[in-house]
Structure 1
Amino acid sequence: MRLLIPFAAAFVLAFALSGAPLPARAAEETVVTDAAPMAPGLHAFDLTAARNGLTYRVDVSVPPVAPPPGGFPVLYLLDGNAFFSIAATSALLLGGSEGPVVVVAIGYPGVAGFDLTRRYLDLTSAVTPEGRTIMGARAPKVPTGGDEAFLDVILNEIRPEVARRLPVNDDRATLFGHSLGGRFVLHAAFTRPDAFRRWVASSPSIWWNDREVLKEEAAFAARTGRPALDLTLVVGGAEQDPEREEAPERAAFRTMARMVDGVRDMHDRLTRLQAGAGRIDLLVVPDEGHISVVPASLGRAVRRAAG
């Protein structure tokens, strides 16, 4: 199993910049290559997607028990390089009480932690002039806007490959993402609500593109015959607190982002909208920040995936 690099050093949020080149065109077909086994129950493969021509490393943890009737429930993770170790360990520790869960972590080959260039592309809509103005010096200097293609890759290429390899139940699939990944989860839930049974958005970047995801939420709310969501929102209770010796630029961004307020407001709106249908959970983890909340978020994601 990959080592999880220290968050404080590696998790530069979504604002660090990188100039690694990206493929210019989609591949002609999906290409899958097995990686060397890491340990019993752990598997990995690289998949070059036909949809966007990009290669993904997929790490998989399989419970050491017989699959239940219909197959294992599955927890799909974004930013898989960073989060696989925590999620796989949580699934093993909680398996006896919560039930077995297959963990599928979607990341990138040969990268420890976060590939900031790739995650900007995969997890975001195209940055708008308004969004760039709001982010100022923190605005990305790398490609954005690949979220729809990435969602297609997950649903039409990665999930079928996992189902081909393992006895999984796609009707019991959960999607987890943190930060920009949390924003991606909300985008997917509001635009393709039937794609997953459950959704877990951890510290979602609701602020992205001048809170563009709120427009998607409103469009979802206005849909006739919309399905009821099973969505868990998680945020660290200290994410809006001033930091020690905080730079003015950081303080301005924290005020703009309103991480805790934004999640609370969304929970309240969706709870009223669904009026008891589905399930909208809110977990505000006291004293935790944007980084330190991740283990609690993943623990909750494992429990929801097993349910």
Structure 2
Amino acid sequence: MRIGTALCLLAVLSGTGGCAAVRTEPLAAASPLDFLPALRGEYFPIHSAETGRTYHIHVRLPEGYDAAAATPYPTVYLTDGDSLFPILAANHLFLTYDDRLPEAIVVGIAYGGFDPAVNKRHIDFQSPGAGVAPDAAGAAAFQRFLKTELIPEIERRHRSDGARRVLFGQSRGGAFVLYSAVTDPDLFWGRIASNPSITPGIESLLEPAAPATRRDLTLVVTSGTRDRPNLQVGAARWLSVWQARPERPWRLFGERIEGGTHAANAPDAYRLGLHRLFDTDASP
């Protein structure tokens, strides 16, 4: 019997309640990544009842991580883990060395390939709006996957600080970060949207935000000066609307990355965003 299934059964039999419909797969055998210490952690696939998809979850654990210690760590969740996890998770080590940013658990949410037959980012990250077919707007289901399936699994497996969750997304993943900020502010303590691609679907990103109970939330939106012009315009429009709303549930920072292109400067957006979240000097 799988561990997750056994825990669910125990919860039911003990009368403490049920559990989310989460199905995790057996751990894979050792891989070459086990010998890259900057990315050392774990991998597991998880099938989502919310989206009907299996995701490949890569976890980078902090240097010196001790599962038996009481130390909780901030946890960064990366969309587009297929490409961003090996870049940003490894770079986090240098951010702790050079920038004195806190160590963190870094979680990459991957599809296992770039082929649209497998990679459904165009659905999972898509918010509803004009010109978007209902079955193509999967942001709500993907967020439920994060909230009810993946996050509880990560926090069960590791010493993840549930009060300091961070969500990072690039391009369409950045648009999902904005969708999450508007629709469920409390889910993540910090959010970083890098060069968000917010059309179509901008309408739902401009609606009033859902109520928040926390008062320590932060949202950082970065835009490269060499990003695609239409994406810069869209990001500027979104920022201007929300900067004019004093009732927004998070501190909001709009940052320009000089010379930044659409995707190649994701590490700069990650670095700048984390400095804003942890209130440290964001200068290079």
Q: Shared topology, TM-score over 0.5?
A: yes
Aligned residue number for residue 15 of structure 2: none
Q: Which AA in structure 2 matches 1:215? A: L
Counterpart selection for 1:101 from 100, 104, 108: 104
Aligned residue number for residue 82 of structure 1: 83
User: Does residue 224 of structure 2 align to residue 230 of structure 1?
Assistant: no
Counterpart selection for 1:288 from 260, 267, 274: 260
Aligned residue number for residue 209 of structure 2: 220
SS in 2 for 1:64: coil
User: Does residue 177 of structure 2 align to residue 185 of structure 1?
Assistant: yes
SS in 2 for 1:30: strand
Q: Which AA in structure 1 matches 2:225? A: G
Structure 1 residues 225 and 172 mapped into 2: Cα distance closer, same or farther (>3 Å)?
closer
Shift of 1:194: 0.7
| 1:75 and 1:305 in contact (8 A); partners too | no
Structure 1 residues 214 and 167 mapped into 2: Cα distance closer, same or farther (>3 Å)?
closer
Aligned residue number for residue 155 of structure 2: 163
Q: Which AA in structure 2 matches 1:270? A: W
SS in 2 for 1:34: coil
RMSD, aligned CA? 3.1
| 1:197 and 1:230 in contact (8 A); partners too | yes
Aligned residue number for residue 126 of structure 2: 124
Aligned length: 250
| 1:108 and 1:115 in contact (8 A); partners too | no
CA displacement 1:42-89 (0-9 Å, x = unmatched) = 311100112232100001111113578650000100000110011112
User: Does residue 237 of structure 2 align to residue 265 of structure 1?
Assistant: yes
SS in 2 for 1:59: strand
CA displacement 1:242-270 (0-9 Å, x = unmatched) = xxxxxxxxxxxxxxxx3223323333433
Aligned residue number for residue 13 of structure 2: none
User: Does residue 26 of structure 2 align to residue 47 of structure 1?
Assistant: no
Counterpart selection for 1:30 from 6, 23, 37: 23
User: Aligned partners of 2:90 and 2:118: how far apart in 1?
Assistant: 25
Shift of 1:295: 2.3
Shift of 1:100: 0.5
Structure 1 residues 99 and 60 mapped into 2: Cα distance closer, same or farther (>3 Å)?
same
| 2:22 and 2:46 in contact (8 A); partners too | no
SS in 2 for 1:270: helix
User: Aligned partners of 2:119 and 2:248: how far apart in 1?
Assistant: 40
Structure 1 residues 75 and 199 mapped into 2: Cα distance closer, same or farther (>3 Å)?
same
Counterpart selection for 2:164 from 152, 165, 172: 172
The range that moved more, 230-239 or 265-274, is 265-274
Q: Which has the higher contact order (CA 8 A, sep 6+)?
A: 1
| 2:242 and 2:248 in contact (8 A); partners too | no
Shift of 1:116: 7.1
| 1:199 and 1:232 in contact (8 A); partners too | yes
Structure 1 residues 131 and 284 mapped into 2: Cα distance closer, same or farther (>3 Å)?
same
Q: 1:186-201 alignment to 2 at 5 Å?
A: 186-201=178-193
Shift of 1:31: 2.9
User: Aligned partners of 1:170 and 1:113: how far apart in 2?
Assistant: 33
User: Does residue 55 of structure 2 align to residue 59 of structure 1?
Assistant: no
Shift of 1:279: 2.0
Unaligned 5+ segments in structure 1 are: 1-27, 133-139, 242-257
User: Aligned partners of 1:173 and 1:33: how far apart in 2?
Assistant: 26
Counterpart selection for 1:298 from 270, 275, 284: 270
Aligned residue number for residue 16 of structure 2: none
Unaligned 5+ segments in structure 2 are: 1-20, 280-284
| 1:79 and 1:114 in contact (8 A); partners too | no
Aligned residue number for residue 5 of structure 2: none
Q: Which AA in structure 2 matches 1:121? A: I
| 1:240 and 1:260 in contact (8 A); partners too | yes
User: Aligned partners of 1:225 and 1:162: how far apart in 2?
Assistant: 23
Normalised TM-score (structure 2): 0.76
Q: 1:238-249 alignment to 2 at 5 Å?
A: 238-241=226-229
Normalised TM-score (structure 1): 0.71
SS in 2 for 1:283: strand
| 2:169 and 2:175 in contact (8 A); partners too | yes
